[in-house]
C-alpha cells in the first residue's frame, strides 16, 4: 500500500465534498487511482477529458506513483 495526498478542485471537489484527503491505495498509476476514486465518489468524467498533475507538474496517466505523491485530477479547464 502507498499513501497518496489527493487535492480536489472544482467539479471533483464538489463530488468528493472535500478539497483534500490522504488516500491509502494499491494503485500503481493515476489511471488505476482514478478508477478507485470513480467508484468511491461517483466521478463521472471520461478519463480521456482529464489531465493529471503529480507533485504540481503535468504527468501522463501511466506514470508510476510513489509513496507520498501529491495527485490532482484536472477536469476540463475553463479560464478566461
Partner 1 sequence: MSLTIGNTKFEITDQSLENRNYRELFADPRVGGVVTFEGRVRNHNEDKDVTSLEYEVYPELALTEGKKIVEEALAKFDINNAYCVHREGHLQIGDMAVWVMASSEHRENAFLACQYIIDEVKARVPIWKKEHYVGQEPIWVRCDKCASHRHHGEH
Q: What does the binding site for partner 1 look like in residue numbers (CB under 8 A)? A: 7, 9-11, 13-14, 42, 44-46, 49, 53, 56-58, 72, 74-80
CB of residue 48 to partner 1, shortest distance in Å: 9
Whichever of 28 and 76 has its CB closer to partner 1, that residue is 76
Kindly list the distances between the CA atom of residue 39 and the CA atoms of 32, 42, 47, 68, in Å, as whole numbers in the listed order. 11, 5, 13, 22
CB of residue 28 to partner 1, shortest distance in Å: 23
Rounded CA separation 11/9 (Å): 6
Rounded CA separation 20/10 (Å): 12
Whichever of 1 and 78 has its CB closer to partner 1, that residue is 78
Amino acid at each position: 500500500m502507498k499513501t497518496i495526498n489527493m487535492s480536489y478542485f472544482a467539479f471533483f471537489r464538489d463530488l468528493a465534498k472535500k478539497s483534500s484527503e490522504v488516500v491509502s491505495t494499491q494503485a500503481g498509476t493515476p489511471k488505476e487511482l482514478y478508477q478507485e476514486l470513480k467508484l468511491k465518489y461517483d466521478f463521472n468524467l471520461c478519463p480521456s477529458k482529464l489531465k493529471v498533475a503529480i507533485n504540481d507538474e503535468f504527468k501522463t496517466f501511466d506514470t508510476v506513483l510513489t509513496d507520498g505523491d501529491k495527485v490532482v485530477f484536472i477536469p476540463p479547464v475553463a479560464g478566461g
